[in-house]
Amino acid sequence: MPARRAATAPPALSDEDVRSIRAKLAAGENPRVVVRAASAAVPAGTRGNVVRLGDPKDGEYIVVRLGKDEVPFAPAELGISGRPATAAAASPVRAQRKAAESPRPRRAAGSRIPAKRVPPLSVTLRFSAGGWTIEAQRGARRLARPSALRPGAVSALADHVEDEALRAALVETVDSSRAVVEAERAALRERLQAAEATLRDYDVRPTRKRN
């Protein structure tokens, strides 16, 4: 009887594949890829389009659109869609290896499916030129550009900071900025009072009656 041949997953993305995908993205294309191994949320063989590449230091930096979701993957988890899969003849040794590499256990019906993997979220708080700004980034994608933040919000944040040194720095910066604004307000009040006094000098005084 001829030996049966078992199809395997397509080869993982190589460095050359990643460079090719990056070039296609720059040209306005969305290269199609296939998920090589099944996970709790994505079955093996699922196909999708690459929408962007992040920082390779993040590991899972290849973002693929699967339906309505955008899911990050590592290069080893993806293959080129349409590329022929490798095949190997079945043998007793390979059969033993396959038995040792037991598949991931299936979840019991009704068990909770874990949430999909998401890149880390970074929130940056800055103080410059007398004002506060905040910005956010998820993985390699910027979520929000730097926008103004009220000092009162920083004071509220400081109340929940456990680190004493950081909390003291936040409070000190807010109080110092408030003192500057209060001094400016006092100076403006003095100028207003002086201006009002000067305007009173322009008022026409009634002429005294002679007896």
Mean per-residue pLDDT over the chain, rounded: 79
Mean pLDDT, residues 13-42 taken together: 87
**Domains assigned to the chain:** 10-81 (2.30.30), 121-200 (no CATH)
Q: What is the DSSP string of 67-106?
A: TTEEEEE-GGGEEETTPPPPEEE--HHHHHHHHHSPPPPP
Q: What is the pTM of this model?
A: 0.38
Of 39 and 151, the one with more pLDDT: 151
Q: What is the pLDDT of residue 203?
A: 84
What are the distances in angstroms from CA 109 to CA 106, 112, 113, 186?
A: 9, 9, 10, 70
One-letter identity of residue 126: R
Of 81 and 102, the one with more pLDDT: 81
Residues shown for the chain: 211
Q: What is the pLDDT of residue 106?
A: 54
Q: What angle do CA 186, 125, 135 make, to 5 degrees?
A: 115
Q: Per residue in 82-117, pLDDT tens?
A: 766 654 433 444 454 444 455 555 555 555 555 667
Mean pLDDT, residues 73-80 taken together: 89
Are the beta carbons of 54 and 140 closer than 8 angstroms?
A: yes
Are the beta carbons of 80 and 10 closer than 8 angstroms?
A: yes
